[in-house]
Amino acid sequence: MQKRYAFTLFACFLFTLTFAQRKKKDKNLDIPVVTAQPTSVDSLYLGMKWRNIGPFRGGRSVASVGVPGNPQLYYMGSVGGGVWKTQDAGMNWKNITDGQFKTSSVGAIAVAASDPNVIYVGMGEHPIRGVMTSHGDGVYKSTDAGKTWKHLGLPASRHIAAVRIHPKNPN
């Protein structure tokens, strides 16, 4: 039995080595094309560089929402860091749920169209992954733009992928 196991392991290892060749790099792919006049929308961004503007410890995010009528105000829910808020279009972020939620994994966020102070958050990372998935404990609601939160229920739901609010009734 041990010989058969050892032979199978060796055969798998040998098979893997036969396909372990490196792919040749195309030298022309790394050269950016710069023209005097932009020929497409993409070429307008050639001079720009990526930078991280935060939040610092948010982690993966599967939930974000903007506030209608306020292009500077956004909420982002991370799967390990709660809900974050920006009031300057993403230049600065602040966690608004630390110490108020029992779990930190956010699966969905919605802001009421009829009252931008009303926010609902569904907890639990909804794209279930084999490596790690964080579970939630239901739905939370804020009526003061995220200053305070109330747990509404559904503690056994574990994963909430979407929250929808009636357009005229935020309750």
Write out the DSSP string of 68-136.
TTEEEEEEEEETTTEEEEESSTTSS-EES-TTT-S---EEEEEE-SS-TT-EEEEES--S--SS-----
Q: And the tokens for 153?
A: 């229920």
Give kind and range of the element (H or E) at residue 160.
Answer: none
Give the type of residue at 100: Q
Q: What is the CA radius of gyration of the chain?
A: 24
Indicate if the pLDDT at residue 56 is higher than 90: no
Using a 10 angstrom Cβ sphere, with 0-12 exposed, 13-18 middle and 19 or more buried, the burial of residue 134 is buried
Give the pLDDT confidence score for residue 155 in this predicted structure.
81
Classified as helix, coil or strand, 18 is helix
Tens of pLDDT, residues 97-130: 998 888 888 899 999 999 999 999 999 887 776 6
The pTM of this model reads 0.66
Query: What phi and psi values does residue 11 have, to the nearest 5 degrees?
Result: -65, -40
Among 98, 97, 76, residue whose Cα is nearest residue 87: 76
Give the pLDDT confidence score for residue 91 in this predicted structure.
87
